[in-house]
Structure 1
């Protein structure tokens, strides 16, 4: 190969190398900064194909999508000085590329570590002004909103990232207090159960007493009504007997004597001792009842 061809090949290779180092691409999912000897000259490169000066400019690319930082569970104390183990995570996104590069040197792991520290500090401050009930359920959503707002301001000013959301995955009691809390809760539930049973028994006794009283009143009223009806029946029967007796007193006396004879001589072994001139034999001596 001639020296001329060799020169052409060398120049062509150098040109390809220069062109390849002069062109770069920023994707839609990326954020980038353009550096000149380590100094930021373009803090927000738009997506697309760009060029730079080889050996003078350098490009640093960062993830532009939402990232997740998972903090380690930490022990925090509530307003009543009760310890809680809080496990949390946060969603963040690079917003200010220049500040993000300056604060973290463009390292996502370093940014996540710094953000995790600030999350724990924010949670510690928010938990310290709330009770256990408020942290666990009562004001949990409000706590998340407050810490997200405060943390976003701090992270944007110091790290150049925007905090999208902060969430608590789990809240536990420390092992050294879990057993005592369980015993106290169990005692409270047993006390509440005893009170409910006592109230139920008191209510049951009241219902039974009311039912017994109502039964007594109903029976008394029924007995009173039955006696009134019976008295009215007896009075009516007496009136009918009196009317019948007044119509034919002799016949009434005769029929009563016959009924007395019939009832007296039903048994075969019955014995009746009477005087011969007794009124009982009045109609046996004389059918007309003469004495």
Structure 2
């Protein structure tokens, strides 16, 4: 019995080795290419445990595991020229996946690095073609989405030849080069200054129109006001004269007295007015006689006693 234990151990080791070399595992992010003497015999795309012929060391069956998830290839600081001759610095990336494992194995031997080298060259060329047929401002406008779709469509045939499927293309950055940035800044500054001058000119023109209209309205308003004031003044003068005439007709003596008192109040103001008039002037008749009548003549002096009256002789 003791002599059989080594033999049993050897057989167990051989069986375990055969089982181990016959099994391979594919997870959800992988796909496996089964090769037999270098030829593709099967492709496993579903996750699980699979069997193959043992003795891969003798090139009987080999398994090459490749990615089954979305991969990303970045292009950084690519200088592209637009149709006007100016340049952009562009960063972009392409998202892709391996959709044909057999073609991927036959074209690039299942190497992601080799596939990305070829894809990078075609991606760069597609970006340059798309930018080259557009103007300076297209990449900074809403046309950018259409440009990304166009790059993807141009890149897809080359990717299919490698067994790849292009999922998406994105332009991450589009910046002006240093010299173009300064030129663009100067041009934008000149445009803004010209626009500001146009706005100022329109403002000055509008201000002149407003001032002219305001001046005309002021003249019209003042003229209308003067017209109305003259009319009102004339109507007031007429009413005053009518009142004076009515008062004079009712009591001429009182009217004369009132006018004289008004004249006294105006002429004899407390500001020290000096008047040179004769005391017998008509102006002072109410001072001489409250009734306003003429002054009574003075009586002749009486003859002295003892004096005979003179005769006409």
Q: TM-score, normalised by structure 2?
A: 0.83
Offset, 1:60: 1.0
- Match 2:239 to one of 236, 240, 251: 236
The corresponding residue for 1:24 is 24
In 2, Cα distance between equivalents of 1:29 and 1:164: 16
Q: In the alignment, does 2:204 pair up with 1:198?
A: no
Matched residues in 2 for 1:210 and 1:283: separation?
Answer: 60
State whether structure 2 residue 219 is matched by structure 1 residue 216: yes
* Matched positions, count: 290
Q: Aligned runs of 1:150-189 on 2, under 5 Å? A: 150-156=154-160, 158-189=161-192
- The residue that corresponds to 2:301 in the other structure is none
Which stretches in structure 1 are left out of the alignment for 5+ residues?
none
Q: Is the 8 A contact 2:86 2:180 kept in 1?
A: no
Match of 1:35? 35
Moved more, 277-286 or 215-224: 277-286
Give the equivalent residue in structure 1 for 2:81: 77
Q: Which has the higher helix share?
A: 1
- Which of 119, 122, 137 is 1:115 aligned to? 119
The answer to whether the aligner puts 1:246 opposite 2:249 as a matched pair is yes
- Contact 1:32–1:44 (8 Å) recurs in 2: yes
Q: SS of the residue aligned with 1:49? A: strand
Cα deviations by residue, 1:127-153 (Å, 9 ceiling, x for unpaired): 111112112214101111122223223
Alignment equivalent of 1:64, drawn from 49, 68, 74: 68
Per-residue deviation, residues 80-126 of structure 1 (Å, max 9, x unmatched): 22222211111111111111122222122222222222211111111
Shift of 1:262: 4.1
Runs of 5+ unmatched residues, structure 2: 295-313
Q: CA RMSD in A?
A: 2.3
Distance in 1, Cα, partners of 2:274 & 2:188: 89
Equivalent runs, 1:250-265 vs 2, <5 Å: 250-265=253-268
* Residues 1:125 and 2:129 are matched in the alignment: yes
CA distance 1:280–1:93, change in 2 (3 Å): same
Q: Answer yes or no: is the 8 Å Cα contact 1:33–1:40 preserved in 2.
A: yes
* In 2: Cα distance, 1:246 partner to 1:73 partner: 112
Alpha-carbon separation, structure 2, partners of 1:154 and 1:238:
112
